[in-house]
Amino acid sequence: MPLQNLVEYFNDRFGQEHRSSFRPFILEQGKISGLFGPVRIDSSFSPLRQTLKPAAIIGHTAKIKVSTYEVQHLYSSEIENLLPHHSLQTNEFESIINFDRLSRTVHMLNFLPLTHLHDLLFLEVDPRHIVGVKQDHGAYFQEVITQCGLETKNIVIILAVNSQYIRYHQVLIEGLENYRHRGYQIGLKFDSVAKESQSFEFIQKLSPDYVSLSARYLDNVRDNTLPAKLHQLKALVTNTGGQSILQHIDEKRSDSLARNTGFDLVQGSYYERSLAPVLLSESSDSGASVYG
């Protein structure tokens, strides 16, 4: 289905769900944006690559780009729905869930021109979304994915794990297992390995498909045991059936760290810079073979 038709479909769906004439999805210059109050949501994608063959891309991570946007006119009936005494007023969790769903729909639509049948889209989900939805996690987004002509197996749901939420790992695991039951792949993202015992326990219980760390954090670590910890993490992820990812690789030394410690996948600006001459050369060679 053409992007414009998908935009119209999801705008109509939003209007029916919220009893509103507000149309949050807009298509401009081939890109989809979503409107959430005065905030405009856009997508930024970064390729995930095989560590030993960085020219081989297996999927993309999606990040939110936000900017301000003039709020559309609301009719009196819609304003009534927003008043404090109105029974349909959303609470904090509902607002987070709506923002999360809107953002993921924007990413899904913008991913379509990039995707090949076997490419993966890595999407972060707010932990409060997982806690706030009591059952049927992923059901709403599954309809979005299906309407876009893809399958849930193409989507990796990423939970960013921190000390604030890791204490509630049982509730989070139950929510993530609901996603998995619908065919989604599951990933955990750790910004550090400072509390490796808690992190390792979480990995053992969930057996995620992907586990990622940030190279920017590791660059600032002064710990002689770090390589051993990374090897231990890599072994655990492999033993539980997953793959390891080192993200935010901006320098050669981080790429070397990923290779030396056995990370399966990598992501970062270093590869865009280092591979650009190679890709340009390949493109020129291809052009010469066609027209020469």
Residue 108 CA to residue 71 CA, distance in Å, equals: 24
Q: Are 131 and 160 in contact (CB under 8 A)?
A: no
Predicted confidence at residue 71, as pLDDT, reads 58
- Could you read off the pLDDT of 203-249 as tens digits, one per residue? 999 999 999 999 988 877 777 778 888 899 999 999 999 999 999 99
| Main-chain phi, psi angles of 121, to 5 degrees | -115, 120
pTM: 0.83
Instruction: Give mean pLDDT, residues 182-208.
Output: 85
| DSSP H/E element including 44 | strand 39-50
Total number of domains constituting the chain? 1
Share of the chain above pLDDT 70, in %: 82
Domain of residue 236, CATH code: 3.20.20.450
Q: Helix, strand, or coil here: 247?
A: strand
Write out the two tokens for 110: 């913008």
Angle between helices 252-260 and 269-291 (to 10 degrees): 90
- Could you read off the pLDDT of 51-77 as tens digits, one per residue? 999 999 999 999 999 998 765 544 444
Instruction: Give mean pLDDT, residues 262-282.
Output: 79
Which residue segment(s) compose the domain that 282 sits in? 3-291
Pairwise pLDDT comparison (291 vs 21), residue with the higher score: 21
pLDDT tier at 78, thresholds 50, 70, 90 = very low
Q: Is the pLDDT of residue 152 over 50?
A: yes
For residues 265-277, one letter each, b for 16 or more C-beta atoms within 10 angstroms of the residue's C-beta and e for the rest, the string is: bbbbebbeeeeee
- Could you read off the pLDDT of 137-149 as tens digits, one per residue? 788 889 889 988 8
Q: Is residue 108 packed enough to be buried (19+ CB in 10 Å), middle (13-18) or exposed (0-12)?
A: buried
Pairwise pLDDT comparison (144 vs 283), residue with the higher score: 144
**One-letter identity of residue 253:** R
Q: Are 175 and 126 in contact (CB under 8 A)?
A: no
DSSP 8-state symbol, 70:
P
- Could you read off the pLDDT of 93-133 as tens digits, one per residue? 567 778 888 899 999 999 988 877 668 999 998 888 788 77
Mean pLDDT of the chain: 82
Predicted confidence at residue 55, as pLDDT, reads 93
